[in-house]
């Protein structure tokens, strides 16, 4: 029996498409653990495990989760399939034939991967006319492919928060069109949903100078994160005008808004703004110092001398962020690793895995064993970061085995995340 199973699995490995794999059928029947056992049986027969065969199981998991009745899980699966590019196309081709939103989403992602060339598929044109918000979101790609700006603008009138947000994000690609700027500006003033206003502000920021004036009033928005988005978007739209308009912020004592302004300017090479961040990093308010440490994350190479003392800072958040900045810059990797290892051994599981994630980005081999243990941790938030850490540590080795059991994790979003990373590792 085992010999027969091994032959079946070996034939699956030879198949070019996951659609031909008996492992896919096991996953689709809900027996992911059985498929993993088949994969392990094959590994014993061959004397080594096959990353490509596990990638087939992972793609089957993504296919299954893309058909989930939970919109959050479905969205995660389709987002992952899109990020896989050509490796996700076979699964998308299978899903396109499904009825309803699943087929619509597959058609939309495939159309986007093809660069929205040619006429949109008929089912996307139908989705673009649908009154169902989720189908309508899929149909937005057809509107964009047909250059139907009125339809995209009209979606901002929907009662669905998700549809309005998705439409705003797409309108950020419509450069130099006054009707788009006017409608996004109205949305920034009037939409009741914070996340939609933020999406509209972000879209205006990508439009460049034509969107600048429409963003300015949002500096007074009632919600802090929307105000922060406005500051960043103003710098994106026109750095020089933003510098002139809000220069006074960099003369104030550090606060959340001024640090965000300095971060956005510093990312574009503004030296005085960078100095403001470094001064804020040395300040007394712990919450502001943590924000300043985030803002300093890209400064490691140019300002390592000023950042080095913070590797011994009493605030672990500051120490973690600065160690990441210095480690990624390369020249101070050894000092950064030394500062991170005690954090990685912390009894605080979340702090430890965050430190291990940075160590994995720095290719620290000593992080491998604790990351493996974290993959089996009780907290889903820890397992998620552990998946990403292992993906870094795997490098070009193709070692996917430690992620295998997470394809059957109790948390669907972790199953999706692990599946995507397995495919990525196997493709390197």
| Rounded average pLDDT over 186-212 | 97
Question: Using one digit for the tens of pLDDT, what is the confidence trace for 261-281?
Answer: 999 999 999 999 999 999 999
CA distance 66 to 160: 21
CB 377 within 8 A of CB 408: no
Q: What is the mean pLDDT of residues 176-181?
A: 88
d(C-alpha 33, C-alpha 410), whole Å: 12
Give the rounded distance of the alpha carbon of 235 from its chain centre. Answer: 23
Checking 21-29 for CB contacts under 8 A at 24+ apart, the result is 21/56, 21/60, 23/53, 23/56, 23/57, 23/60, 24/56, 24/57, 24/59, 24/60, 24/63, 26/60, 27/57, 27/60, 27/61, 27/63, 27/64, 28/60, 28/63, 28/64
Q: Is 14 helix (H, G, I), strand (E, B) or coil?
A: helix
Span 208-213, mean pLDDT?
A: 95
Q: Which residue has the higher pLDDT, 20 or 259?
A: 259
User: What integer is the mean pLDDT of 66-80?
Assistant: 96
Residue 283: the pLDDT is 85
Q: What is the mean pLDDT of residues 5-23?
A: 48
CA distances from 5 to 15, 37, 91, 397, 407 (A): 15, 10, 24, 27, 21
Q: Which two tokens stand for residue 346?
A: 């912390």
- Alpha helices (H) in 296-345, listed in sequence order: 304-307, 316-329, 333-344
pTM confidence score? 0.89
Q: What is the pLDDT of residue 11?
A: 43
Q: What is the pLDDT of residue 177?
A: 86
Q: Hey, what domains does the chain have and what are their CATH numbers?
A: 246-344 (1.25.10.10)
**Average confidence score pLDDT of the chain:** 92
Burial of 344 (0-12, 13-18, 19+ CB in 10 A): buried
């Amino acid at each position: 029996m085992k010999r027969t199973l091994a032959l079946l699995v070996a034939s699956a490995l030879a198949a070019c498409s996951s659609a031909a794999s008996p492992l896919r059928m096991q996953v689709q029947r809900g027996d992911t653990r059985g498929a993993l056992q088949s994969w392990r049986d094959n590994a014993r027969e061959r004397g080594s495990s096959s990353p490509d065969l596990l990638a087939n199981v992972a793609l089957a998991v993504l296919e299954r989760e893309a058909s989930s009745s939970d919109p959050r899980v479905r969205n995660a699966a389709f987002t992952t399939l899109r990020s896989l590019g050509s490796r996700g196309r076979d699964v998308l081709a299978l899903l396109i034939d499904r009825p309803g939103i699943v087929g619509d989403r597959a058609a939309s992602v495939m159309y986007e991967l093809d660069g929205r060339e040619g006429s949109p598929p008929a089912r996307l044109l139908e989705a673009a006319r649908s009154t169902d918000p989720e189908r309508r979101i899929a149909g937005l790609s057809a509107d964009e492919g047909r250059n139907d700006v009125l339809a995209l603008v009209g979606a901002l009138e929907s009662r669905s928060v998700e549809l309005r947000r998705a439409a705003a994000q797409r309108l950020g690609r419509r450069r130099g069109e006054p009707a788009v700027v006017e409608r996004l500006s109205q949305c920034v003033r009037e939409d009741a949903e914070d996340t939609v206003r933020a999406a509209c502000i972000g879209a205006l920021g990508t439009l460049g100078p034509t969107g600048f004036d429409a963003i300015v009033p949002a500096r007074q928005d009632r919600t802090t994160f929307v105000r922060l988005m406005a500051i960043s978007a103003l710098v994106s739209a026109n750095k020089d005008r933003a510098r002139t308009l809000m220069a006074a912020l960099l003369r104030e004592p550090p606060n959340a808004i001024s640090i965000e302004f300095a971060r956005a300017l510093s990312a574009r090479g503004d030296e005085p703004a960078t100095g403001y961040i470094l001064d804020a990093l040395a300040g007394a308010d712990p919450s502001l110092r943590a924000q300043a440490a985030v803002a300093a994350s890209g400064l490691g190479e140019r300002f390592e001398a000023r950042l080095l003392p913070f590797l011994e800072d009493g605030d672990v958040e500051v120490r973690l962020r600065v160690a990441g900045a210095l480690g990624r810059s390369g020249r101070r990797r050894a000092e950064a690793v030394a500062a991170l290892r005690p954090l990685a051994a912390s009894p605080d599981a979340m702090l430890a895995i965050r430190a291990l994630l940075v160590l994995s980005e720095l290719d620290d081999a000593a992080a491998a064993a604790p990351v493996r243990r974290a993959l089996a941790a009780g907290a889903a938030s820890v397992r998620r970061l552990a998946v990403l850490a292992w993906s870094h540590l795997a490098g070009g080795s193709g070692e996917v085995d430690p992620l295998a059991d997470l394809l059957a994790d109790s948390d669907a979003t972790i199953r999706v995340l692990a599946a995507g990373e397995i495919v990525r590792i196997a493709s390197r």
